[in-house]
Structure 1
Amino acid sequence: MHVKYLSTLLLAVSQSATALVTGTRAVSNVASVAPVLEARWPWTVNKRTAQAVVENQTGKTIYGVGLVHKYSDNYVNSEDWPELAHGETSDPAVTVNYHTGDLTTGRDWWLVTWLGDDGKSVLYTDPNNGRCWIDQLEQAATKILPKIAAAIAKAQLKVPGASKLVKQITKELLDPLLNKAETCGFKQHILRDDDRNSRVTIVLKKGGEVVIKSPTGISYSVWRSKPLD
């Protein structure tokens, strides 16, 4: 009687152990094929670039063209070209940097300046949001006014080396405008994800109109002339 009971007990223990091992293997197999879930931060910041150019539709040749782009206080991009004939687009384009993404709060700001063909004025895009930077530009231009007049005269006569001189003057004029934090006097035109690797064109038109075009939108502004006395 005791032997039979003991045999039954041992058989039950053996079956329980087998079931436990089988269950463990099943759980292990399920775990091995289950997808691995990675913890991901739900917000992203994407670094993007676009190509910006200036198109001259003012009706005449313009000299010492400078373009400044700012993405808030993260990036400053600038380029200058010695002259643009009417109907011409600046080359090479300037690469501009910006961000897109869920938590990005930055904005794109734009400014174009150029020299008057009389050698005595500076022209600039003006979105009517303040002239806080005009004094800086005027001071910089006034200091080199004799060089401006001479450079424009040489450029108009196609004197060798004139383009290099005009570019040098343009860089001196743009230098006060390259502060990352200052956007007063700049026009806002926001670049979005669909603008990446695309062209942004700033069109200077007759009568003082400015059009900024990119794949995701169009912005409008004006340009003005500042005599340098």
Structure 2
Amino acid sequence: MTNAVYTMTVRALAGVVSERAAETMVRSVLREQNLLPETVSAQDMQRLLSGPLLSRLSAVMPAARARQELRTLSGQMAERYPKAPTLFVESGPQATWDDPQETDLWTDLGLGADDFEFDDPEYAAGLSGRSYDLNSTLDQDTLIQTLGRLTGVQGVMVCRASGEVLRVRAVRDANGLAGVVAASAMLFQKRSLRLLSADLGGQTVCVCPLGEHCVAVIANSQANVGRLLVELQQIRVAA
């Protein structure tokens, strides 16, 4: 028998999509996260509301409305379950690229191997993180939105190890970033590296290899690069 957290979530979603669609959506996300309708906790559901469920609902309605609907539900759940606070940020855009004021283009970066600062291979060893299926567009979008919430992040790109771009969100055209990723992929093939970063003078590019894929992030001077590197180190690829 499903529990109260599951029922509350499905009933709320049934107000914006059909009841059948709501139940299918929630059950699919729970299954992907190895959770059950009978035992899912409020803490687990809060994480799903601000991540996978937000991505799913944004695919069937405007992202702003999807976010507002789930933010409301998340707030109601936090009131009912005080030990499970909402994970939605109440002020500011979900990610920097949601701000329409940014209009400039990326410049030609022109980077080579000597421009990169390579990290200590043992940096942040032992940290655990979420797993993402980077062959799934849903998980690609979830990862991009998660990284995009970090202060100062201007763009996130998911690529194949060859440098082929699969998914990208950025405040500016990302052609320059794609070139950096392609160059980085070649460096990863030649050296045993966990990630690398390049200081562009006011901007920093970080690239992390993830098996057959890699993730690139570009951030401005307001970013905490140390935290950004830790977040990249925590990413795990789903088996």
Same fold (TM over 0.5): no
Q: TM-score range by the shorter chain?
A: under 0.3
After TM superposition, the score normalised by the length of structure 2 is 0.20
Q: State which structure, 1 or 2, has the greater radius of gyration over its C-alpha atoms.
A: 1
Normalised by the length of structure 1, the TM-score is 0.20
Which structure has greater helix proportion?
2
More strand by share: 1
